[in-house]
Every structure is written in structure tokens, then in C-alpha cells.
Amino acid sequence: MKKTLLTILQYIVFLGLGIWIVYHMLHQLKPEQKDELVAAIKSIDAWYLIPICFVGFLSHFFRALRWRYLLETVDMKPTVINTTFAVMIGYITNLALPRAGEVAKCTVLAKYEKMPAHKMIGTIVAERAFDIVCLFIIAIFAFIVQFSWINDYVGVRMHSLVAKMEKHENILLASILVLVLLIFAGIYIYRRNRETKFGRFMKEMNRGILSILHMKKRMQFIGYTFLIWSMYTLQIYIGLKSLPATHHLTILAAIVVLVYGSIGMIVTPGGIGLYPFLVAQILGVYFIAEVPAQAFGWIAWVVQTAVIIVLGVVSLLFIHTYNKRRNAQVAVDTEQSI
């Protein structure tokens, strides 16, 4: 009971944070800026929405295919269609109640594939742990390859501070050193608190990552992981091309936006409020004006959320029908074989 109340309270707090960010973003705009925001949103080339939605679907489909490799490690081989339906139902459930989606997709897949749901939980932990590591690696890569842009942006916003920092030639090396120290600090904290809730979480995450590295089809798993994150990046890149204000930005800029947007998706339910806010802020690195940057943030969030809702509803509507026909066909095949 106490854990349930804590989960509900956590959801309310982060949902409230997202709503407050939405209010703050819109409230601080002047009337003429609000008109400019609407005009910027209307300036989108609607033809780009087709490939954006298709790429969004592919990212979810590849995630379903990747999950099947993890399920094979616990002797489960669900159908591709049921796994895809389960993944999409998990996503749409997460929009309503964060983290409940993981339970939902396991429950749904277990029901229609007649498999024990509790055996799937470990695969979810492994998958999430691996994705966190991937996001961390992508974030480091994005920072290194786009360091000049970030440095220029900081230079405009904090000229006096950067002037002092520019006296040191190895600023990038120093940043990497700080990152390494943070990693060692994290390891130290984990060792001191391994029996706490945080320590157990880190232990489970480490076990999940190791299970992936030792699985028989790890190269296929890593391959689908690459495809998933590539689709995420491509979705944002196509989105950048759809607006006149961001049309000139490169695929490397899309990777930076992906990192910041992913943080927004993790913190608030469905990324509400925080996703467009962080995306708008990071677009400032590329000197995109505030209003067009906010317009892109809102468009990207709405399109991604709409794809999840549509695919989730379709999955809810058709999963029962698909399995009813599938079971009927299995029954017919069994009779014929007899």
C-alpha cells in the first residue's frame, strides 16, 4: 500500500512538473511571439510527416524484434506480431501511468502466448539497462563531435566565464577527466550503498547488461539496438528538415537533440512539457531563435506521442482478433494432422 501511494505521488509530482513547464513556456511568450509560434508550426512541410511516422513505427518494430532475442534466453519464442502488439500496448500504457507499461506488455504477451509473465521481468531489466548505457555513450559522442557548437553557444551566453576557460588549451581533456572522476565516484557510492535500494538497482542493471553480453545472439541484439537508435535519430533529423528554421541542421545536431529529448521522456510522463522545453533549449546551441525552437519541440513531441497513441490503440483493437484467428488456424492444422 505504501509503495503504491509513493508511486502515485511520484507520478503526480512529475506530471505536475510537466504541466508547469508547459504553462511557463507559453506564459512567458509575448502575444506577438505566440502568433509567431503558431505561424512556425503552420510552416511545417506536412509531407515530411509521412516518413517521420513510418520511421517512428520502425523504431518500435525493431524494439519488438530485439526483445524476442532476450526472451529466447528464457526459452520463450513469441510471434513477431504478438510481441509488436505487446510493445505498443506497453508504450500507450506508459503515457497514462509511467512504468506500468513494462508490466502491461509482459502481461499481454504472457496472456496471448500462454507464457509465464514473471519470467519476462528479467528481460525488461536487461533491456532498460542496456538502453541507459547506449544513451550515455551517445551523449558522450554527441558532446565530443559537437563540442565546437556547444563551446560557441556557451561563449555567447557566458562570455566572461569562457574567456577564463579559453586560457586552458585542454578544456576537452579536462571535461573528459571530470567525466571519468564521476564514473569512479559512482562506483564508490555503489560499493558503499550496495545493500540499499539504489545499490540493488545498480546490481540488477549490471546483471542485465552482462546477460546481454553473454547471450548467444548478442550480435543480432546489438544490431537491432543500432537500428533502434538510428531510427530515433532519423526521426528527429527528418523533423528538422520539415521546418524552414531548422532545415539546415545536420544529422549530428539531430543526435544532440535526441539526447536532450530522451532525458525529457525519462523525467516527465510521456515527456510532457520537459521534452519540448529541453529540445528548444538545445536548439539554441545552433542559434535557432526561441520561438521556432519551441515550435520544433512541440511538433516533435506531438508527432511521437501521436504515433504511440495510434499504434497502441490499433494494437489493443486487433490483438484479440489476431489471436482468435491464429488459435482457430492452429486447431484446424491439428485436426488435419490427426
What's CA 248's distance to the chain center, in Å?
24
Question: How confident is the chain (338 residues) per 10-residue block, as mean pLDDT?
Answer: 52 53 56 64 86 95 94 86 94 80 88 83 82 88 77 54 46 58 64 58 57 76 94 95 91 91 80 82 86 87 90 91 80 59
Cβ neighbourhood burial of 118 (10 Å; 0-12, 13-18, 19+): exposed
SS3 of the chain: helix, strand, coil, percent, to 5: 85, 0, 15
pLDDT of 121 reads 79
Q: For residue 167, what pLDDT is reported?
A: 47
Long-range CB contacts (within 8 A, 24+) of 232-240: 232/59, 232/258, 232/262, 233/258, 234/55, 235/52, 235/55, 235/56, 235/59, 235/304, 236/261, 236/300, 238/48, 238/51, 238/52, 238/55, 239/48, 239/52, 239/296, 239/299, 239/300, 239/303, 240/296
Residue 228, pLDDT score: 96
Question: Whole-structure pTM over 0.85, yes or no?
Answer: no
| CA neighbor of 154 nearest in space, from 139, 133, 136, 172 | 172
Backbone angles phi, psi at 114, to 5 degrees: 55, 55
3-state SS assignment for residue 77: coil
CA distances from 306 to 38, 52, 301 (A): 19, 11, 8
Residue type at 306 in one-letter notation: A
The counts of H helices and E strands in the chain are 14, 0
213 contacts: CB under 8 Å, gap ≥ 6: none
Please give the backbone phi and psi of residue 51, each rounded to the nearest 5 degrees, phi first. -65, -30
